[in-house]
Amino acid sequence: FFGTGVMKTKGGTQETEGTHVPKIGRYPKEDVTAAQKVFGWIWLSFWCSLHYLSPLLLISVLIPVFYPTSTTIVWGLFILTLTFYPHKPWPAARNFFRSWFELYDLTYVIETTPEEAEAKFICCWNPHGIVPITSYMGFTFMNLHFPKQYGNSAVASILLYLPILRSILIWCEAVPSSAATLKKCLDNGNLSILPGGLAELFLSSRETETVFMKQRKGIVHIAIQKKAQIVPIYTFGNTQHFDQLATGNNFLGKFSRKIKASFTFFWGQYYLPIPYPGKSVIVVGKPVALPPGNSPEDLDDMHRRWIEAVEEIYEKYKHLAGYPPEKKLHVV
């Protein structure tokens, strides 16, 4: 199915590599010790818990206003410092998520050729999921497989004001997802983004697979403006980590999109922010070529081809994640 090639071991992976793409690799669970698994689950559960704890930490800066003691004032200043510092990347942080690979038996497929990877591109990761664990693995994945092409990652602006979450995201070269910032990033390099955003988060369900793409022409417009190809990346398993209360187009979903911050209740194992176990697959598709011009028709054409590329990736590789044949992708 993946063509002829030779088997080799490289950096803890089992990789099949021939003279042509696609290339497939795997980070198998059996390659890690029990202690490494325990550490991985503790770190992963802590990271997911931060999506609850970090907003509470930020709110806690108000404690000195109501209870002004030396202890609360020091605490408030400490949290404020975490809200604005650090402000520079730290390349070593890109590998912080490596311990999660074996927990989810991570498999990857790379259809992009080395020559294609030399061009300027926007990596569009779908679907978002509730807490996008597989996409967070993408920081490490891109650093391992595309180190020269590693660029900024666009995230919801609110995340860059939340203590601890902000620190690690800034270290990994995350930036706010405003149009002006995205264009500036593409002037200097490549970009990764979860284009479905909050709308796709609230569509996330363990039962159905949904991507929010039909109204996402803005990123295509930026790609055409900056002469950057769109690389479709599908993260199988990203919707399987948690359940949530706010699904679909209910009040919490509408309110969250209005203020550009997610307000939902999610849970995994034991009704805690401990994700369910499962299987993760990252598929890096072939770049969606730029159109010859920048007319509305050209924009519509590239947008259509991007959606078709995501649909093709899903149908072609869903079996690697254990998805049944009847599980279809819904594009809204």
Give residue 281's Cα distance to chain centre. 12
Q: Is 14 exposed, middle or buried (0-12, 13-18, 19+ CB in 10 A)?
A: middle
pLDDT of residue 3: 30
Each residue's pLDDT tens digit, 42-92: 999 999 999 999 989 999 999 999 999 999 999 999 999 998 887 899 999
The tokens for 274 are 């401990």
299-309: pLDDT as tens digits: 999 999 999 99
Q: Which residue bears the tokens 């108000």?
A: 62
Q: Lowest mean pLDDT: which of 10-24, 33-47, 67-81?
A: 10-24
Least confident of 82-91, 98-107, 189-198, 293-302: 82-91
pLDDT number for residue 257: 53
Q: Is the pLDDT of residue 168 over 80?
A: yes
pLDDT at 90: 95
Residue 6 predicted with pLDDT over 50: no
DSSP string, 20-78: SS-EEEE--GGGS-HHHHHHHHHHHHHHHHHHHHHHHHHHGGGHHHHS--HHHHHHHHH
Distance CA 97, CA 45 (A): 12
Q: Locate 187 and state its tokens.
A: 């002037």
Burial, 76: exposed, middle or buried (Cβ in 10 Å; 0-12, 13-18, 19+)? Answer: middle
CA distance 220 to 205: 26
* Res 18 pLDDT > 90: no
Rounded (5°) CA angle 265-275-109: 120
Q: Tokens 């000195």 — which residue?
A: 64
pTM listed for this prediction: 0.89
pLDDT for the residue 86: 78
Q: Is 16 helix (H, G, I), strand (E, B) or coil?
A: strand
Strand partners, 211: 331
Q: Does residue 327 register a pLDDT over 50? A: yes
> What's the mean pLDDT in 110-138?
91
pLDDT in tens, 220-265: 999 999 999 999 999 999 999 999 886 655 555 555 555 555 567 8
Asked, as a colleague might, if the bond just before 114 is cis with ω within 30 of 0, I would say no
pLDDT of residue 114: 73
pLDDT of residue 279: 96
Cα separation, 217 vs 215, whole angstroms: 6
Q: Residue 155 and residue 171: Cα distance in Å, rounded?
A: 13
Left, alpha or beta for 129 (phi > 0: left; psi -120 to 50: alpha)? left
